[in-house]
Amino acid sequence: MSASLLFSQLMGGLTTAMFLFLIASGLSLVFGVMRVINFAHGSFYMLGAYLAWQGVQWFHPTGVGFWAAAVFAACAVGLLGAVVERLFFRSLYGREELYQLLFTYALVLILGDAAKFLWGTGQLSVSTPPVLAGSVEIFGTAQPLYNLFIMALGPAIAVGGWLVLNRSGIGRMVRAAQMDREMLGALGANVGTIYTGMFVFSSFLAGLSGALVTPIQSIVPGMDVLIIVQAFIVVVIGGMGSFWGTFWGSVIYGEVLSFGILIFPSFSLFSVFALMAVILIVRPWGLFGRPL
Amino acid sequence: MTETTAQAPAAPIGVPRRENWVRRIPWTFVVFVIACSVPWLGSRYNVFLAEQIAIDALFAASLNLLLGTTGLVSFGHVAYFGVGAYVCGILMKTYAVPFWLAFPAAGLGTALFALVSGYFCVRLIKLYFAMLTLAFSQIVWAVAYKWNDVTGGDQGLPEIPFPNLDWMSSIPGLGDLRTSDQFYLLAVFLIAVSLAVLHRIVRSPFGRVLTTIRDNPERAAFIGINVRAYQLAAFVVAGTFAGFAGALYGIFSRGVFADYVFWSKSAEVMIMTLLGGMDYFWGPPVGALALVWLNQQITDYTEYWPFVLGAILLILLFGFPGGIVGGIDALWRRLRRGFGA
């Protein structure tokens, strides 16, 4: 095994990790605040990808087509999140977790078919935006610029999210809602608005990550149920509701998968699920989370 | 789970429960006889549907032992279905083990797996329990998908043989049936026995303890019940019967494939349970019947079956949390009250 091979596995793992972080951070936020596991998060991600493709078709002539499409997709998915939260989710907060899980699964079914209806079952792809189309050589390996961009975006969002959560008034409200929803309401804060805001932000992140993944992955039906399981693993490893936990959880997942393929090709899939099970058994609240 | 109790309305002690002609009909026996007569009365396609319904009925009823009776939200029940299907399929295809050995072996293998995985699962509460069951089911999926030498990997295990049913041909009246029809009769018989055993378990003192745990685990622990041990026992029983259902399904569909074990299948069987009504023992089988029948009706018109399923689920969650049997039960009671009976 040469050093450059190891390095390219490392970078590949990091790219996967940062994508997963973008997706899983929204899932983790919603879990942390609302104590709801949102299966539909993967569907939001898929819709983000399809909407980005659609946006690229519409805005193509201009040079900023891809970026406009990504913002459009993320905002549209965020809007959908607002509708879902206000219309349905709201009435499920007091109910048992079974109903919440199955509600989000109903969304998976409906949105999955809606995407098939609107965009068909074929593969769609989006070309890399021209600014980031090239690649640079590092340690004798060619690293696509786009992957490097994602690797920079992940930590940027992590730091930004951490700053907002820990150093701003909104973040204080969100953390208070995580700890004691009723007390926050009793103190006069509008908990309902905080919940809607969190859900919209989480959907926005899912839509954004779906849009950003399009240049390196083709858009296919079924990408929703595949990604959601991976996002679950990341969130479980890091700790549900913990922002940095999700970050490190994605790094661990990405690298275990990447090096697992190198060392035991047929066990890498098994190893990530086994890792999830072991973490749940030993520390159900994850490496960086707090017990409920 | 909170709306109604799992059992029929309890009559006050000392007062005999009011009997009426609807209750006097032995419904389970009637359904069994109807199910057995499908090969003579219906087409080959009817037998196919009936077998699918019967297997799903057992699978959903086994899940309901966790969901409705014990109040454990398992999001990975398909793992036990899959283990049963693979154990039975591998034994029968790869090692040519006869069915009468492979079928109990499938149950035993599933029970062992449920014992090991359940031991860890019941230590966790609520959502973490659901997540760990999901993790175990994905482990089974990953093993099934990648372990080419044993499970066939992504190719699966096609062409699992039918059991040797020559003994059945010597029974008068069954001799001129197709092998698939003979297997159908065997499956219906095994499923009926399994459902009867499950029913006994739910109605036994053991089952009552499970319901107590569902309603209030703290209080159950307080009166001296070992909550985790009972939950684990329920987990193993539910897993074993799911394994039996899986074993039959593998032979019925002439193959076992990794797709059977993917996590979304767990959600499907949950929908069946909810659709039928998880507060009733016969709810999940009714849900299986309704869902398989609906699927067959709707796929004639549109390929968007998941969309319809999602819409049904929304209606159930927001309108009829008691499911079909719960709805019928409520309607029945209202009618009786209306007539002053």
Per-residue tokens: B147: 């372990």
Q: What pLDDT was estimated at residue B18? A: 57
Cα→Cα distances A268→A20, A141, B95, Å = 17, 23, 29
Mean model confidence pLDDT for chain A: 84
Q: From the candidates B1, B128, B133, B265, which should be mutated to test the interface with A, based on the most A CB atoms within 10 A?
A: B128
Q: How far apart are CA A287 and CA A28, in angstroms?
A: 13
Q: Which pLDDT score, from 0 to 100, does residue B19 have?
A: 58
Size of chain B in residues: 341
Q: What is the DSSP string of B174-202?
A: TTTS-HHHHHHHHHHHHHHHHHHHHHHHH
For the CA atoms of B52, B133, B236, B267, the dihedral, rounded to the nearest 10 degrees, stands at -20
Q: How far is B14 from chain A (nearest CA, A)?
A: 36
Which DSSP helix (H) or strand (E) runs through A136?
Answer: strand A135-138
Residue percentage of chain A with pLDDT more than 70: 98
**Nearest residue in chain A measured CA to CA from B308:** A110
Would you state the pLDDT for residue B17? Answer: 55
At residue B302, the pLDDT reads 81
Alpha helices in chain B (DSSP H): 21-24, 27-41, 44-64, 78-94, 99-121, 126-146, 148-151, 166-169, 179-203, 205-215, 217-222, 227-252, 263-276, 283-298, 305-318, 323-338
Q: How many residues are present in chain A?
A: 292
Helical pair A223-238 and A268-282, crossing angle rounded to 10 deg: 40
Residue among A290, A179, A278 at smallest CA distance from A243: A290
Spans of all domains in chain B: 30-263
Rounded to an integer, what distance in angstroms lies between the CA atom of residue B281 and that of residue B7?
Answer: 8
**Contact indicator for A46, A115 with CB cutoff of 8 Å:** yes
Per residue in B42-82, pLDDT (tens digit) is 788 888 888 899 999 999 999 999 988 888 888 889 999 99
Segment A165-169 shows an average pLDDT of 82
Q: In this complex, do B134 and A277 lie within 8 Å of one another by their Cβ atoms? A: no
Binned at pLDDT 50, 70 and 90, residue B8 comes out as very low
Of residues B1 and B268, more confidence is placed in B268
Given a contact cutoff of 8 angstroms between Cβ atoms, the answer to whether B109 and B236 are in contact is no
Tokens matching residue A136: 């640079």
Amino acid at B173: G
Give me the residues paired with residue A136 across strands.
Answer: A143
> Which regions of chain B does DSSP assign to beta strands (E)?
157-158, 255-256
Where does the pLDDT of residue B7 fall: very low under 50, low under 70, confident under 90, or very high at 90 and above? very low
CA B180: distance to chain centroid?
A: 22
In angstroms, the Cα distances linking B340 to B20, B74, B334 are 14, 42, 10
pLDDT band at B15 (very low <50, low <70, confident <90, very high): very low
For tokens 């493709």, the residue is A53
Structure confidence by residue, pLDDT tens digits, B143-162: 888 887 778 777 778 777 78
Report in angstroms the alpha-carbon separations of A235 from A48, A239, A248, B128: 20, 6, 10, 12
Nearest to B124 among A113, A276, A284 (CB): A284
- Nearest Cα residue to B60 out of B226, B238, B272, B330: B272
- Enter the DSSP assignment of B322: T
Mean pLDDT of B202-223: 89
Q: What is d(CA A68, CA B158) in angstroms, rounded to the nearest whole number? A: 49
**Kind of pairing between the strands at B157-158 and A141-144:** unpaired
pLDDT at site B12: 46
> What pLDDT was estimated at residue A61?
60
Query: Which residue on chain A is closest to B317 by alpha carbon?
Result: A99
Test B120 with A37 for CB contact under 8 angstroms.
no
* B14 pLDDT higher than 50: no
In the numeric block, the tokens 């399809």 are attached to A50
Cα angle A40, A37, A284; round to 5 = 145
Average pLDDT over residues B86-96: 86
Question: What average pLDDT does range A74-95 have in this prediction?
Answer: 87
Q: Can you give the pLDDT at residue A79?
A: 94
Tell me the C-alpha distance between B287 and B323, whole Å. 8
B256 pairs with which residues across the strands?
B157
Q: What is the mean pLDDT of residues A181-198?
A: 82
Q: Tokens at residue A225, please?
A: 């149920």
**Ramachandran area for residue B42 (φ above 0: left; ψ -120 to 50: alpha; else beta):** beta
Structure token pair of residue B88: 């039975």
Phi-psi region of A240 (alpha: psi -120 to 50; beta: other; left: phi over 0): beta
Largest CA distance in chain B: 67
Comparing A37-46, A79-88, A283-292, B103-112, the range with the smallest average pLDDT is A283-292
**What's the complex ipTM?**
0.83
Rounded mean pLDDT, A95-113 = 87
- B19 vs B260, which has greater pLDDT? B260
DSSP state string for B117-174: HHHHHTTS-HHHHHHHHHHHHHHHHHHHHH-HHHH-GGG-EE-PPPP--HHHHTSTTT
Each residue's pLDDT tens digit, A257-269:
888 777 777 777 7
CA dist B224 → A60, A75, B201, B213 (Å): 69, 54, 21, 11
Looking at the predicted structure, is the pLDDT value of residue B340 above 70? no
Candidate from A97, A107, A267 with C-beta closest to B127: A97
| Two tokens, residue A69 | 């499409």
| Alpha carbons A49 and A152: distance in angstroms, whole number | 20
Report the percent of chain B where pLDDT is more than 70: 92
Q: Which residues does chain A have within 8 Å of residue B129's beta carbon, measured at their own beta carbons?
A: none
Cβ distance of B306 and A281 shorter than 8 Å: no
pLDDT surpassing 90 at residue B5: no
Return residues 257-296 of B near A (CB < 8 Å).
262-264, 267, 270-271, 274
The residues on A that touch B, with CB distances below 8 Å, are: 35, 37, 88, 91-92, 96-99, 101-103, 105-110, 112-114, 116-117, 225, 229, 232-233, 236, 266-267, 269-270, 273-274, 276-277, 280-281, 284, 292
Over residues B170-181, the pLDDT tens digits come to 777 776 777 788
Backbone angles phi, psi at B158, to 5 degrees: -80, 170
Tell me the H-state helices in chain A.
Answer: 3-34, 41-59, 65-87, 97-119, 145-167, 169-179, 181-186, 191-213, 223-238, 243-263, 268-282
The residues near B101 (Cβ < 8 Å, ≥ 6 apart) are B91
Residue B2's pLDDT is what?
Answer: 43
Q: What is the pLDDT of residues A32-48, one digit of tens each?
A: 777 788 889 999 999 99
